[in-house]
Structure 1
């Protein structure tokens, strides 16, 4: 008898669909989600659609007479710009070197902080300091430290006889971009450190110790046991930071403004020049759309790799 009473609501639900209570709960859930949806539409979807639409329009505040549908003219003009290839190459160098340096330094420091050493908690707290420093503060501080006249970096290098005379690190064509990359690595590697350190906590010490007993050296234990277990964390962090770094504007603008002679100009700096200096929002939107397409392609590739991996 009791079993029939328990089965009756299920049969009614199958026959008439959701109960009134479930419908009420669903409506309340929609009401809670609605503010987030409206915020997303106002802050993300609308600007994104506007940028895509403007990329196909002639929109130059310095030449109001030129307006209307442009088709692919903005994209063509951007790609054939004399500084586009240089900015594209600088973006690749900036992104690859930054992410590679952050990962390697983060991995080394994570392994060091995972060891049982005295004061480990203090070191773990200190290492996060560069990451919490605002980009503008970090950029200006390093700019002052690297100046040839009174910068402490040049002073130390000269006193240690590493350099014969001070070097204008941010003012030379060959060193400007690499110097900003170095500063970016210094600021961002703690994020990799904390994430990889969390991943190391999940690595079974029993397996590592068993491998050591079987005769596996430090190198083999690292490459065949520890590193494979950090693969998911590593790929996720690298993917996120490739996007963050490629679209980063603040650091380079604060330290070099893309100079000297466009030697450190990246695509985000180029977008800023189009929009805020030339007031050509059509070209700025076109270049931003190209970068958006690249980011979406990266996401699709990463997603397909993840799905393929989970199916195995």
Structure 2
């Protein structure tokens, strides 16, 4: 074999060309497999979002087809001028903050309890998931029956225990309806936190706890110095996801109070529904939905860039 023939297979240009060809082939195959998913995402997510934003700047009425055309910012002015907007915004903030805080506190406490070496903990871990698997409509109706002032068993128990002088309409009171629905939402949603935090707790190395115990650290100090930092990433992810889920939640409040009484438990999703399905003003409903999406997108980007900055550090 001549020196020229031996050098050809090892030419740098040929190797680079083959490498580029392989990458192009892999990229083409990947694009082919991802194409159906991309089309599905465009149809189910991108197109509805674009449609909502487009209709937010147009006059759209379900019962009056003559009401059409470019509206500019009129729909947004309609929302901001509505007397119910600011109370609904405050209710949404209260509902979201109290729900997420209660879910996290109860989920963390139950996860710590279920991580202990107690007898029957497998059974308790199975039982704690039950509220999460109950459909929202079923859970809401059951709690409406339990809290009913006429025949609700919880009111009867509280009266017998001396906590109440007489049965109280928890869902019908202006000052209690939102807090009551928030309590029910915490009851149903905290198992999701429990499962996630329990998995993170079980991943904490026992060697760290043993070393800290040998150094004289107590249970509470070990929790805050060793255990809690290991839960930071999971906790932030759970809180971020549930802030978004809770803020846009429609089912629970609509099933239990429909935003009443006197809009005392009305949140922004309930307000969007009423604009679209009761007032038939789709343009205003889309404007309010666009404002909500912009706020949620802001939260997402703040969380994303904060997480990236922490990763870079």
**Normalization by structure 1: what TM-score?**
0.95
Distance of aligned partners of 1:114 and 1:7 in 2 relative to their CA distance in 1, 3 Å threshold: farther
1:295 is displaced (CA, Å) by 0.5
Write the distance in 2 (CA, Å) between the matches of 1:221 and 1:293: 41
Q: Which residue in 2 is equivalent to 1:39?
A: 40
In the alignment, what sits opposite 1:158?
159
d(CA) in 1 for partners of 2:125, 2:194: 9
Please state how far the C-alpha of 1:155 moved relative to its aligned partner. 1.0
1:1-312 aligned at under 5 Å gives the runs: 8=10, 11-15=13-17, 18-19=20-21, 22-312=23-313
Q: Structure 1 residues 254 and 6, CA, compared in 2 at 3 Å: closer, same or farther?
A: farther
Provide the rounded CA distance (Å) in 2 between the counterparts of 1:39 and 1:179: 39
Deviation for aligned residue 1:9 = 8.1
Distance change in 2, residues 1:156/1:23 (3 Å):
same
1:5 CA displacement:
8.6
> Displacement, 1:207?
1.1
Give a deviation string over 1:10-36, Cα, whole Å, max 9, x none: 6424146622x6544433322211110
Q: Which runs of 5+ in 2 are unaligned?
A: none
Count of residue pairs the alignment pairs up: 309
| Of 60-69 and 179-188, the range deviating more from structure 2 | 60-69
| In 2: Cα distance, 1:219 partner to 1:299 partner | 33
Residue by residue, what CA displacement relative to the aligned partner does 1:175-203 show, whole Å, maximum 9, x if unpaired? Answer: 00000000000000000000000110111
Give the gaps of 5 or more residues in structure 1.
Answer: none
Q: Which moved more, 1:184-193 or 1:58-67?
A: 58-67
CA deviation map 1:152-191 (0-9, x unaligned): 1111111111111100000000100000000000000000
Instruction: Give the 3 Å change call, closer, same or farther, for CA 9–95 of structure 1 in structure 2.
Output: farther
CA distance 1:16–1:61, shift in 2 (3 Å): same
Whole-Å separation in 2 of the counterparts to 1:17 and 1:207: 47
C-alpha offsets along residues 67-95 of structure 1, whole Å, 9 cap, x if unaligned? 21111111111011000000000000000
- Structure 2-normalised TM-score? 0.94
- Greater CA deviation, 66-75 or 246-255? 66-75
Query: 2: CA distance between counterparts of 1:283 and 1:59?
Result: 8
Structure 1 stretch 202-211 or stretch 125-134: which is displaced more?
Answer: 202-211
Distance 2:98 2:205 in 1: 32
Give, in whole Å, the separation in 1 of the partners of 2:9 and 2:195: 51
